[in-house]
Amino acid sequence: MELYVIPVGEDETDKFIIYRPLLGLAFVGNRAMAGLAQHIARRGEAEDGVANGRSLTALSFLRQIGFLEADPPAPGAPDSTFAPTMAVLLMTNQCQLRCTYCYAAAGEWPQAELTSEQGFAAIDAVCENARRLGHRQFEISFHGGGEPTLAWSVLQQCVVYARQKPIPARITLTSNGVWSARQCQWIFQHLDGLTLSWDGTPQTQDRQRPFASGRGSADMVRHLITELDRAHFPYGIRLTATAPWPAFVDGVRFICEQTNCQSLQVEPAFNTARGGHGRPEATDCQAFVDAFMAALDVAQQHGRRLMYSGARLGLVTSSFCTAPYNALIIGPGGALVSCYEVTAVTHPLASLSAIGRYAGDEIHIHEPARQQLHSLIAARRHTCQDCFCYWSCAGDCYTRVFQSGPNGHLKRGARCDMNQAITRRMLLNGIAGGGGVWRRPAAIAHQNGEHA
């Protein structure tokens, strides 16, 4: 039985969240209840515990809510065999926008684009893996480093090529939404889904995501959102939140009231600068925690889903992200990397993330490089075993938490505190909303592979 006993807060010395992440259950109890739960976790439901004065009433309550049930099997470590069934095509390093926080500094580099031959090779590889493994489909994702639709001809060629394969392809796009009318109609007809970058209110969008000229992008992207809603095209919105943090809450409210988007994901950017990720300060982290919880309340009131990758309450996973394990990520020049965001050699983790190259009309994987990265990710997660976010955060995103210097992969920062704070507050909200007991929502249970 895996159990975490979490103090409710510094001011609450006799209240604890009693949390079973694998079972998907939590409630608040006093010190005595927490002690009983820990006793059961160590030794099982034992009569000697009752004989020694433990409360029969408490045991009855635990039995009634299902606390005494065994944990389902925990997921094992990610498979080290590299047989990716998703190709992520980093199409270009160019972009029409100059977002204040762009990790890739897109548009500032000499132009480089993926070739159709490179894209076709990645598609061939993942399609063959999916066929050999008996999968019903493979996946293609056009992603970052720049705006994929600027490499329009190659993007179209890759879509047509993927659709000709013997098994179906699910094809999605991550985009800034600066499209022509012709591109819009073509995407609606040929792609299966979209992740759209839009940062909240038009004012925030214009401030954080201006064109290279300095002109705001809100009007053009807002028009696209209207077209997406009119066409009932499946899309989600990816927001980047920066200080001042209350603007993020207003942005979520705007999206909920002015669009039909059902799924929103936010990631915070701290000490923003183009070309990398800034490290958060403790005060900024707390401000984001407060803003996220307020925004989550707004989203839930409107029946929308808002998530942040570091606090995915209810999820049970042994890896933060599947990209290092099940994605073939190829960029301009044929470089193969383990993360969508490591798109330039100037990235601090570029050498660690390089796992191969397309050369001589073939894909070459450098297996020792893959295994080295995986060993560092695993070593970090091993140090997380005492953390109640162990199964939902799963060690977090390595590009955001690995630091420079000796054992930089093991260093902790304010992001860990932020993830814990949000998860703790989500648990408390779920317990209050569940009549005293939080249970994992059915949709997340299905995502974990559980069966009713």
Q: Give me the pLDDT at residue 48, please.
A: 46
User: Is residue 112 over pLDDT 90?
Assistant: yes
Confidence of residue 46 (pLDDT cuts 50, 70, 90): low
How far apart are the C-alpha atoms of 80 and 326, rounded to whole Å? 10
The pLDDT tens digits of the residues spanning 250-271 come to: 999 999 999 999 999 999 998 7
The pLDDT tens digits of the residues spanning 14-43 come to: 899 999 999 999 999 999 999 999 999 998
Confidence of residue 299 (pLDDT cuts 50, 70, 90): very high
Q: Give me the pLDDT at residue 45, please.
A: 61
Confidence of residue 47 (pLDDT cuts 50, 70, 90): very low
Where along the chain do its domains lie? 4-74+428-447, 84-412
Average pLDDT, the chain: 93
Q: Give me the pLDDT at residue 396, please.
A: 95
DSSP state of 198: -
In terms of DSSP bridges, do strands 169-175 and 138-143 run parallel, antiparallel, or are they unpaired? parallel
Q: Give me the pLDDT at residue 274, please.
A: 82
Domain 84-412 coded CATH 3.20.20.70: yes
Q: Give me the pLDDT at residue 448, please.
A: 64
Confidence of residue 434 (pLDDT cuts 50, 70, 90): very high
Average confidence (pLDDT) over 320-343: 94
Average confidence (pLDDT) over 212-217: 97
Q: Give me the pLDDT at residue 12, please.
A: 75
User: How distant, in Å, are the alpha carbons of 82, 143, 227, 249, 394 from that of 312?
Assistant: 26, 23, 30, 19, 10
Percent of the chain with pLDDT over 70: 96
User: Is residue 344 over pLDDT 70?
Assistant: yes
Closest CA to 142 of 182, 99, 173, 115: 173
Closest CA to 201 of 216, 185, 186, 212: 216
DSSP state of 167: S
pTM score of the predicted model: 0.93
How far apart are the C-alpha atoms of 100 and 204, rounded to whole Å? 11
User: Is residue 283 over pLDDT 50?
Assistant: yes
Rounded to 10 degrees, the C-alpha dihedral 331/335/338/343 comes to -50
Q: What are phi and psi of 396, to 5 degrees?
A: 70, 175
Q: Which helix (H) or strand (E) holds 1?
A: none
Q: Give me the pLDDT at residue 104, please.
A: 84
Report the alpha-carbon angle 336-265-278, nearest 5: 65
Average confidence (pLDDT) over 103-122: 93
User: Is residue 412 over pLDDT 90?
Assistant: no
Which SS3 state, helix, strand or coil, does residue 164 take? coil
The pLDDT tens digits of the residues spanning 162-204 come to: 999 999 999 999 999 999 999 999 999 999 999 999 999 999 9
Q: Give me the pLDDT at residue 115, please.
A: 97
How far apart are the C-alpha atoms of 175 and 96, rounded to whole Å? 11
The strands making up 362-365's β-sheet, listed across from edge to edge, are: 305-307, 263-268, 235-241, 193-197, 169-175, 138-143, 86-90, 327-330, 335-337, 354-359, 362-365
Q: Give me the pLDDT at residue 413, please.
A: 86
Which SS3 state, helix, strand or coil, does residue 358 take? strand
Q: Give me the pLDDT at residue 254, please.
A: 99
DSSP state of 450: -
Q: Give me the pLDDT at residue 347, please.
A: 84
Rg of the Cα atoms in the chain: 23
Q: Give me the pLDDT at residue 449, please.
A: 56
Average confidence (pLDDT) over 210-223: 98
Which SS3 state, helix, strand or coil, does residue 146 take? coil
The pLDDT tens digits of the residues spanning 303-319 come to: 999 999 999 999 999 99
Helical H segments across 169-304, by residue range:
181-190, 202-208, 218-231, 246-258, 282-301
Closest CA to 106 of 40, 58, 151, 170: 151
Percent of the chain with pLDDT over 90: 80
In terms of DSSP bridges, do strands 12-20 and 169-175 run parallel, antiparallel, or are they unpaired? unpaired
DSSP state of 151: G
Q: What are phi and psi of 4, to 5 degrees?
A: -125, 135
Q: With contact defined as beta carbons under 8 Å apart, do 113 and 132 qualify?
A: no
Q: Give me the pLDDT at residue 452, please.
A: 37
Confidence of residue 51 (pLDDT cuts 50, 70, 90): very low
**410 or 206, greater pLDDT:** 206
Q: What are phi and psi of 256, to 5 degrees?
A: -65, -35
Q: Give me the pLDDT at residue 451, please.
A: 42
